[in-house]
Amino acid sequence: MTILCEVYLSGMSERIKGTIIRSTGSWSSVLLETGEIVACRLRGNYRIKGLRTTSPTSVGDKVEVTMEPGAQNTGIIEHIAERKNYIIRKSVNLSKEAHIIACNVDQMLVLATVHQPRTSFGFIDRLLCTAEAYGISAAVLINKSDLNTEEDAAELQAEYKSCYESIGYRVFVASALDGTGMDELEAWMSDKVTLVSGHSGVGKSTLINELVPELDLAIGEISEAHAKGTHTTTFAEMFPLSDTPGFIIDTPGIKEFGMLDMKVAEISHYFPEIFRTSEKCKFGNCVHRNEPGCAVRNAVEAGIIPESRYSSYISILESIG
């Protein structure tokens, strides 16, 4: 599912390699190999193969730039390298099909909270499904663990952890406020490009401030009426980690990622436990709804596959089919 970008150029100035760490409108911030950050614009005509998108550039793009003669530390993007992967969401611009949030990602960290606000299993599952579809390993972080001291919250936290660990996902329990689980999380992120995503209010900005203290990102208030956080991030941005090699990509609080190029028959492949179990189904083309001899439905009834996961699977099927 990679996208090949071809940029048709002019000019013979020396090119410098870099990575786009922020892309807004016609300008991008590029972290050069030299360590400098330069504002750059794209030169000339371009063509993107494989997907219609709102912008030709994205956070995480590997590029080659030339410096503009006589300009104040600005450059021209002369070439965009082929992307190894990307994460998309549905575009709010109806004339386009997709908005690429970030590309060339090594792993995704799905942030969830059990209250203030509560993250639904369905939301977590859609993000994990998208990561599986685009070949990106993923883990779940149950954030704000310092708030989960009451019995009901502690039980729900344990339920989330048990559910995703039983499937094979790594689950972190952490709190940026009291430092719980932060060393383990930083070790997992070392030498990787990690995309962090979750609903507004789950503590992304607080977490990133702990990992990269010099950023001092704005932190939104939690709405008492709706128990949802305010949006403090409006676009994706990549930051180098402070205490270990690697990068973290902050993303806007979102409702869901897009599943624009997925087919009904493929969805079960992106739920590892359903895909493994489907080998025992009576029919090879079973989609695990009402077919006789469905091993997946039998496993759900037996409690082997979490009912929440099966419900998420059916919900995604209905949303695209």
Answer whether residue 187 shows pLDDT above 60.
Answer: yes
Q: In CATH, what class is 4-101?
A: mainly beta
Can you give the pLDDT at residue 257?
A: 60
Query: pLDDT-derived band of residue 222, with 50, 70 and 90 as boundaries?
Result: very low
CA atoms within 13 A of residue 318's CA, in its CB half-sphere: 7
What DSSP letter does each residue of 200-242 carry, written as one string? TTSSHHHHHHHHSGGG----PPBPTTT--BPP---S-EEEE-S
Q: Report the share of the chain in percent with pLDDT over 90.
A: 50
- pTM value? 0.84
List, as own/partner pairs, every contact residues 63-68 make where C-beta atoms lie below 8 angstroms and the sequence separation is at least 24, other chains included.
Answer: 63/17, 63/18, 63/19, 63/20, 63/30, 64/15, 64/16, 64/17, 64/18, 65/15, 65/16, 65/18, 65/30, 65/32, 65/38, 65/40, 66/11, 66/13, 66/14, 66/15, 66/16, 67/13, 67/16, 67/38
Can you give the pLDDT at residue 218?
A: 53
To the nearest whole number, what is the mean pLDDT of the chain? 83
Superfamily grouping for domain 264-320: Probable gtpase engc; domain 3 (1.10.40.50)
Answer whether residue 314 shows pLDDT above 60.
Answer: yes
pLDDT per residue as tens digits for the range 50-70: 556 667 889 999 999 999 887
Range in 52-56, 204-208, 307-311 with the lowest mean pLDDT? 52-56
Angstrom distance (rounded) from CA 51 to CA 282: 36
pLDDT per residue as tens digits for the range 16-57: 999 999 987 788 999 999 899 999 998 765 555 555 666 788
Range in 27-31, 69-73, 134-138, 210-214 with the lowest mean pLDDT? 69-73
Where residue 234 falls (left for φ over 0; alpha for ψ -120 to 50; beta otherwise) is: alpha
Answer whether residue 89 shows pLDDT above 80.
Answer: no
- The token pair that represents 249 in the structure block: 């990509």
The structural domains of the chain, with segments of one domain joined by +, span: 4-101, 105-250, 264-320
Under DSSP, is residue 197 helix (H, G, I), strand (E, B) or coil?
strand
Second-level CATH architecture of 105-250: 3-Layer(aba) Sandwich (3.40)
Report the candidate in 43, 55, 44 with the shortest Cα–Cα distance to residue 95: 55
pLDDT per residue as tens digits for the range 232-276: 445 789 999 988 899 999 887 555 565 666 788 899 999 999 999
What average pLDDT does range 81-99 have in this prediction? 73
Query: pLDDT-derived band of residue 201, with 50, 70 and 90 as boundaries?
Result: confident
Can you give the pLDDT at residue 62?
A: 96
What average pLDDT does range 176-204 have in this prediction? 90
